[in-house]
Amino acid sequence: MISILMPVYNGAMYIDKTIQSVLTNNFKNFEFLIIDDGSTDNTAEIIKSFSDYRIKYYKKQNSGIAETLNFGLKKTSFELVARIDSDDIIKSNRLELQYNYFKHNKTDILGSNAYLIDQNDNVLGKTKFPLTHQQIKKKIENMECPIIHPSVMYKKSKILSVGGYREKYADDYELWLRLIKNSTFENLSNSLLYLRKHSSNLSSSKPNTTQTIIVNSLINYYGYSGADINELKNNFINSKSTLLIKLESTRSFLKRLIFLPLYLKVKFLKKLILIRIK
């Protein structure tokens, strides 16, 4: 058995197709948790029009996707959790393929490739992500996200062991960053998801904004502070080759962070002394 976890906020335009793709999947042994994050459109009515006993519907006060996913994780009954978003469509064999892969392989987070579709279900192209843990790890360390969040099936215990989703950060990349050292990541080569791109979710059309969110996640996760914060952000954004956060060298990186405030303080005092001497 698996738990399918889907957050939704004002998803009336596409959620009907999403739910149908789940309920008609080849794999039948699941619970389907739909967490409504305070929708103000007719999302609730559409969800309630489905009478399938596997659907567990929760409506809560609006609080954002990270808190909504954490809320949903606590409600899931099974160790294996499949993520899906309320505007996407899963292929009929997705759940079966991922579940069987977990049965025969030691992995913790399993994604897949995807077809990209527009608001009218037209296929725009498809992804080609790395498949092995080492390839995925390298991408994550270089500030790239080679895992499609709504394509993943993962072990709930792994997600909870690092504190779940964090509300202040980019919900998927920052989570993968915390998991990559002690969890195994893989992608299936199959395209098991129709990933919808439309005006409400086209973050890729604003790469600088997306990258800034990732930078902030990295900086905040490692506790960076100091007067040079803006310069460091620009360095991260302008050149991936200068990315300091390599997980293998975290210790030396953290040392620099620890001593930065002291360095700045000494620099300030030195300048102050020179001014007084003059």
Give the pLDDT confidence of 79-132 residue by residue, as tens digits: 999 999 999 999 999 999 999 999 999 999 999 999 999 999 999 999 999 999
Contact 141, 217 (CB under 8 A): no
Q: Assess whether pLDDT exceeds 80 at residue 150.
A: yes
Q: Please give the distance of CA 94 from its chain centroid, rounded to a whole number.
A: 19
| pTM of the full structure | 0.74
What phi-psi label fits residue 112: left (phi over 0), alpha (psi between -120 and 50 degrees) or beta?
Answer: beta
Class for domain 2-201, per CATH? Answer: alpha beta
Q: How confident is the model at residue 167 (pLDDT cuts 50, 70, 90)?
A: confident
pLDDT: is 221 or 152 the higher one? 152
Alpha helices, DSSP H only, in the chain? Answer: 15-23, 43-48, 65-75, 94-104, 133-141, 156-161, 173-179, 207-221, 229-238, 250-277
Q: Assess whether pLDDT exceeds 90 at residue 276.
A: no
Q: Assess whether pLDDT exceeds 60 at residue 252.
A: no
Mean pLDDT for 4-21 is 97
Q: How confident is the model at residue 29 (pLDDT cuts 50, 70, 90)?
A: very high
Q: Assess whether pLDDT exceeds 90 at residue 53.
A: yes
Q: What CA–CA distance (Å, rounded) separates 13 from 111? A: 25
Q: Determine what percent of the chain is predicted with pLDDT higher than 70.
A: 69
Q: Assess whether pLDDT exceeds 60 at residue 137.
A: yes
Domain residue limits, the chain: 2-201, 207-277
